[in-house]
Each structure stands twice: as structure tokens, then as C-alpha cells.
Structure 1
């Protein structure tokens, strides 16, 4: 997740007022399968491998790798999955550190889970992706056991998705129809400082801007130069002033990547990267022209040439949380003593961004946040990175993984439940996203 929730302060509790249509769907988990038995099998399967998963989490935490360079994690996770009897594809979808792991039995629906395992430069696992990695393992192993025992039919697929911090892996997979053609629902969890079962995640696009000027001796003949760093600073200030007129849920932030090499030469080249976020894709689209105007104005004011390019992989979508899936997740977690804000309150809470959003606009999806129960720190901090390596974080991950496995299993065992999930997806996701 490329940014934390806006606040690390725990939100108010919520345990009631479930919409009637969702409650009806949950009550239809009837059919031929006893959900209590399903839960028992799933939880026992995860408990059986708990010690192994803890060691994997610690290994990943101690060996952080940045986006698209997760070679150790790729080897560690795929070796383990192969030993557990999955059909593993390494370097999947033409990415060196992506993978898939599949198991099927009989005809039926297909449930997908996602593991992430990239870390942040200089911080390590400040977004807890070591926990997300093992959550995917736990869920896939649990549903595999359910299929082996004949309590469900269908397929489980674990997607190893690299480069989330750069919004890369899942979108590359999406372009190759990894999710659209292979799963009926897709699920993952994310560690946080608090619990949200249907909290929002924002849309984002990024832009690289370059200014070109003319070099000259800064002391002897500065009037002969055209200063590209001045242009960049003017663009930066333009964006800072723009923030007064944008929505509270909009975000624009960046870094200057190049701005000269020595003070005694007028800078002839500068470069920066900006992220533009909005609550919805439409909000980001609205901001694009405004940001570009900031670049144009800076070029005119300084006499520089400005060029910019938005990301090749396209817009990262906001996450379309499926509330039927989300309520099933919450119903399990409440039995474990976890409370949630009312869905209407969660909608108002600003989140980070993730390439999982693009999956959620193509198949019914859920991306809940769970508290690690050991920190109030925000994601992307050194304190959060330290917390992600604790036993408390691991225990919280296992608990949330059991809940997510139950959600996945429910879509396999109950046609009625899946129909409710699918109905919400078809009515909730705008056509512009699909």
C-alpha cells in the first residue's frame, strides 16, 4: 500500500446495522455445507502450518527487497508452495519475481488470493508486506485442505504480486488477464494500526516532469543561462498553491530527482516525480489538467522547456470493496473480539493506494485492513517496520488470514452467497472502470 491510512488513531467501534440484503446473503450459507465445519477445517489447516509461516515471515522481514527485485522472497515462497503440493509457476506473466500457485478439485468457482512481498527503500517492511506474503500462503493452504476433504469443489490460486509499492505487478498481470480469466473473486488483507473491513483506498496516477534550460557560469555570466532548477521550484510552488483549491481527499506529493550537480553552473536540467491521488478515478482525472498547468506556467515564467509523461501502465484505480465479502470477513473477526466502524464511517476515511484497486474493478474483491495490535504508527514508517516483525503482528495476521480464508471458502460452497457477491459487483462498479 503506497501510503498509510490518513490517521493512526483507532476509529469508533461498529457491530450492528448490517444492511438487510447483506444479512440475508450471510444467512443463506446453508446449502449442503455446514459453515462451522468449513471454518474448523480452514482454521486447523492454518494452525498446522503456523510455525512454518512464522519462520517465513521473519525471513522476509530480515531480508527486505525493493519493488521488482524480490528474488529471495520469490524463491522462498515458491519453494514452500511447491512442497505443499501446489502447481507453481515461477516468473509468471513475464516478471522475474511474480508467481502463481494453483490447486483444483472438481468443477466449481475459483477463488484467488494475493501475496505481496516488496519492501520500502531505507525503511524495510514499513508496509508489512512480510505479513501479507504469509497471509496469502495461509489462505491458499487452508482452502486447498477444504478441497482435498471434499467440502468444496473448484480452484484456489495464489498470486505472487511483486512491485506493489510502485503499483506495478498486479497491473501487469491485469493487462495479461491474469485475474479476469482465472478467478471469480480475489482477496487479500493488509496490516494497519486499526481494523477496517471495507475501508476505501484511493486512485492514483504519477507523472515525471522534466525542465530543460541553458547552462552558464553562475558567477560570471548568470544572465546567459536559463535555470531549469528555478523552473522546477516554481512548478513545486505552483502545486503547493494549487492544494488550497483541491478537495480534502485529493493529494499531490513528489520528489525532485535531479536538480544540478554544482552550484557554480546554472542548472540546465531538472527532473521530478509526482503522485496525484483522488478518492475516485474521476477525481484524479480532474486534477491532471491542473497539475499540467502548473508545469506549463513554470516553463513560461523561467523560459525553460517542459515535458512530462504520465505512467505507462495507466491509472491505479480506487479499491471497490465488496460489502458482502466484507461483512462475511467482519462476522468472523467479531467472534474474535474485533470491532469495526460503521461502513458509512469507513467510506469517509481516506486511505492509501494499491494496484489491487485495478483487480477490484474487474472481479469481486475485498482488501480489508487489520490491526497488528502492537503499534499506533502509520504505515511507511520505521516504527511500523519494526512492529511488522513482532510476534503480535504475526498472531494478528494469522487471525485475519483465517477470516479471509472463510470468505474465500464461502464463495465456493454457497451459490446463494456468491450470487449476492456478484450482484453487488455488477451494480457497484462503474462501467468506466470495467
Structure 2
């Protein structure tokens, strides 16, 4: 954790106390792990759903241990914090009958069940959709898989970089004189999570209209093919494969990274009018705008190398602050090329309050990255840090399922249910109440 973190980022501003939550009253039982599934359910949690995360005892979600870890708790890594806020955690031994029974009881109380185990795992546990819909016919059951739950590839495991490679996404990115490159950001996991969240919300709306639950499935590979964008239909139209263009665009020009006297920036002239404004108002080079070839998008693409040389020489004469002011005034899409650290400390990020700090009852201040959606009437829930393994086990047993203290303590004693507070159920309850 940065030593200047508390000074650099503001404390989260609480939502209005009386404001309703979009998904208040919706319970999600969350069997997901790693990124795509947990990020999908976190979006529902941010909208006010009660998301109960089911984890394995002791170790929990393996994504907890992706670095860097919090210095006081190795099970609270930065990537895990990023994808699991506003959830409660109960740790169940699903290899035990008691653990599976508790899972079935939670599912019976759920509006939504989400899972991203390998194909066949939920069936072996007796927690698959066909089994549970008999006792909860209104449930929305969302499965996130690599290549679908049925068919010749249902047994294949999948991770984000594999999906990037197999979908054609890697082949499109990078420079033409070398192999394609993957995006370091888990763009396929994040976009799959967005698709899964949308699908679960749509199924909830459909249930309101029909009274029926349903199974929902989102495949990482299916989503990855979609994430190649309109290149798929361009290929179908022409038969040509997309080529790697580095930071330039095959469709618009000039589009790419240029260097001012002090730093790099990106511009994107998506049409002829924008280029005209760039030439006349920003560069004060009307000869470019008046050139009959350069005035047209296809002409600029054909003479890209020549045009970029002219622009490189012009932009190098003044610092970015000079060009930024002129391009903003002329409505030119442009932006400074930043590092991640520069981006989250930028004036834009501060204005939008994207990075804040939230208090943890034991670990002090923790960072929080806001989701991009905003609601005027049902603002998102105030962020609560991602839970520890089984942090809410005792609370879920007694509050959600109605177990008495003796029965809940017995499950903890037998190891069917695990709590990070160990066997001290009272201490666990007190810590939970303090945190919420």
C-alpha cells in the first residue's frame, strides 16, 4: 500500500441515507471465483443486491492471492479487492453433506445463483439448475463458462489470455513486423462479466413479467469473438484478415500517438470535418485542409506516412499544454498518453471521483475503484471492502437461514462451515456487525 495513499485519495462520500437501491431485496448466491463471475456479481452487489459469496474453507477464492497482498492479510490481494466488494462470504465444505445442505438452503432463498466452476462440478454436487429448479422454480441460474456447458468443447478450461488468442483478438493488436500481443488488462473477463450481469438483470426483468425463472449462460469464448468488434463482419464482407496497425487506425486518419515537445498524446480524426478543424484551427496549416487528396479520409489513409511526418514536425514545436488547449477549443478528440498511476491521479479521475478510500474495521483504509454507472434515483451502494474467507459465515447461518447459535456453532465445530474468526462465533458476529 502506498505510504501516501490516504493523502492522495479522498474518503468515499456516502450515498443519501434514504435513497432506495435498484436491486434491494434481491439475493444472489455466488459460487464464482477468479474474475469474470465475481466481477459480474459485484456489479449486482453495487446495485444493492445481497450477494453471498460461497468459498472453500481456509483457502477460499484463489484470486485472493494474486499480488500484491495487503501487508496484514495475504488473503486480501489488490485484484481480489477490485472484484469482490459489497459481498458477504460464507465458507462451506461442499464435500461434506452438511456443507451441501447449507448450500441448498441458501439456493432455496436465492433470486439468482451464479457459478463458473468447470463443466459438471455443480451436477456432481447436486447444485445444478435442473436439480434446484424443482425447489426454486423462480430462480435465475447464471453459468459462466469457457466454451459453453454443452457440446464438444464443454470440458475445456479457459482463461482471459487464451480467449484473446483463440478469438483473433491477439492477431489484431500490435505492430505488423512482429507477433500480435494480448491486452494486459483482462478485457475478456471484464466484458464477459458485463455480459453476465446484463443477462442476469434481463432474466430478473423477464421473471417480473412472467413469474418464471430460467437458466442463463455466458461463454468467455463467445464474448471474446464479439470483442474483436466489427472486424468480424469486415472479414465476412471482404475475406481479408485484419492487419496489425500499432497505434494507428485502418479506418481513420490521422489517428495515433504523436509527440509534443514534452510528452506523447493521442488524436483521433474520425471524419473529414475533424481533420479540417485540426488543420485550420489547431495547426494553422490551411494548405493541409485545402489539399483535395488530404481533405478526404481515403486520401489521408493512402498518404498516411507523408501526413504523419508533417504532423510530427509540427507537434514537436510546442508542449502538450499548448496543443491540448487548442485542440479542446477546436473539439478535436485527443488525450495525453498516461501511465495507470497518472490516470487515477488525473484531474478527470478526481472530477469523477473514481478512486476513493474506504475504511476496513481491521485493516485501516483500503482503496476503492468506482464502477462507471451512475443512477439519479437509486445510487449505487456505499462500498464495503471485499470480505475475508467466511467472514460472514455465522451471520449468514443465523440471519439468512435462521439457525440458532447452537446449531450454527455446531456446523463451525464440525468444519462443514468455516469462519475466518475460527470457532469463536460471537467474535465473528461482533466483527460482522461492526463492519456493516
> TM class by shorter-chain length?
under 0.3
Bigger radius of gyration: 2
TM-score (normalizing by structure 2): 0.24
TM-score (normalizing by structure 1): 0.25
Higher RCO by CA contacts (8 Å cutoff, separation 6 or greater): 1
